[in-house]
Amino acid sequence: MLHLHKEWSVSFAGCGFMGIYYVGAVSCVLERFPALLRDASAVCGASAGALMAAVVTLGLPLERCCADLMRVAQRARSRRLGPLHPAFDLLREVRDSLRLRLPEDAHVRASGRLCVSLTRVSDGKNVLVSEFGSREELVQALVCSCFVPLYCGVIPPTYRGVHYVDGAISDNLPRCHRSNTVTFSPYAGENDVCPRPRSLWFHQVRFSNVSIQLNSENLYRVTSTFFPPEPEAIAGICQSGYLDALRFLQEHGLISSDGPGSTVAGAACCERATRGEAEQRGTEHAWLNPQVIAQLPANVQKVLCEACREAQGLVSSRGSSSSRSLAQRLTGWIPDVPKDVSWLYGMLQHVYKAWQDEDEDEDEDSEKPLRRCTSLPLGLNL
């Protein structure tokens, strides 16, 4: 039970491209009961949840966050292998968006309140970072928290000279064990703001402190975490986040229990479709059913609608663009090759030494039984 007369925290689970769920959930809270986020003593997150925690802490416009996510998802979908295509650099997309969106004093405003979950490569331990010396340090921490090994690359990024990877590996829901923490997750499970399962299924797993029920809906959500679905499906996930947050606010008596009031139905969120497009789909939107985003705020509706429209008219040109993107990615990596190679060499040395120590221990253990045989009692030797 949430007690607003005490200090409380907010925590967002890591979820990749399912982060669009948080756009809907946060937009609902800011629209209906903004004090829940505005007055929280700490806003925590891992991976994509850390990005949303930064958006909430700094008060960045949600429509820009939504537009960036839709753009990155569309770029990933335009490749034959999706996000796994060598020319697609997810980490670079995140870094560029952060450097573009974060204000100059972001590190000052975030320090002491924003908590970013990281996993240290050297020992696999979780590190919760909440102090940032500069804007670039804040960018580094958020980028490190989003780095999924192999999925995002081979060489982990650094924060203050230390290599870190996705915070979701060691703690995907920071401070979730504290009694007065409101947890957000796009997976159905035992979290405060999360989808409700459509079927009765009581089996669940816990992954790095996140409860996930075993059902077909969650399987789809986990898949969408790494491989973004079609734009209209992403828009539906966003509205799902809005409705789940609305239910949480109503169940805890933070707002009235009236049903969700729909916003503008129809094509008010963008330009109307042409008559030919409308006849083709039987609706004023040829690219998106208005009911999919009917509950969302108008500014988020507009972004989602425009993204779906652009995706429908997009002409794929994978050939030259993929080659150019791959060349740009390699060119950007060249300056870091010496230090990355030396780090890899050091890691391999560390692993080799660990294996060598294990082999020596095994050799010592194998010799011990022979020594014990020489000291057996005379009767057993005979």
Helix (H) or strand (E) holding 9: strand 9-12
pLDDT of residue 103: 95
The mean per-residue pLDDT over the stretch 354-375 comes to 49
CA atoms within 13 A on the CB side of 185: 26
- Whether residue 311 is contained in a domain is answered as yes
Is there a domain that residue 376 lies in? no
CB atoms within 10 A of CB 111: 16
| Domain, as residue range, for 95 | 9-257+290-315
Average pLDDT value over all residues in the chain: 81
Does 253 score more than 80 pLDDT? yes
**pLDDT score for 352:** 52
∠ CA 316-321-324, nearest 5°, is 170
What are the backbone dihedrals phi and psi of residue 163, each rounded to the nearest 5 degrees, phi first? -80, 130
Tens digit of each residue's pLDDT (9 = 90 or more) over 43-67:
999 999 999 999 999 999 999 999 9
Does residue 168 fall inside a structural domain? yes
pLDDT at position 58: 96
Q: Which pair of tokens denotes residue 293?
A: 């985003």
Residue 368 inside a domain? The answer is no
- Cα 4 to chain centroid distance, Å, stands at 27
Residue 209 pLDDT: 81
Q: Is residue 28 part of a domain?
A: yes
Domain count, the chain: 1
How far from the centroid of its chain's Cα atoms is residue 276's Cα? 39
DSSP sequence for 362-375? HHHHHHHHHHHHHT
Active site residues: 47, 166
Question: Is 302 inside a domain boundary?
Answer: yes
CB atoms within 10 A of CB 270: 18
pLDDT of 43 = 96
CATH number at residue 305: 3.40.1090
Distance CA 216, CA 226 (A): 16
pLDDT, tens digit, 9 for 90 and up, residues 123-152: 999 999 999 999 999 999 999 999 999 899
Examine residue 330 and state whether it is found in any structural domain, yes or no.
no
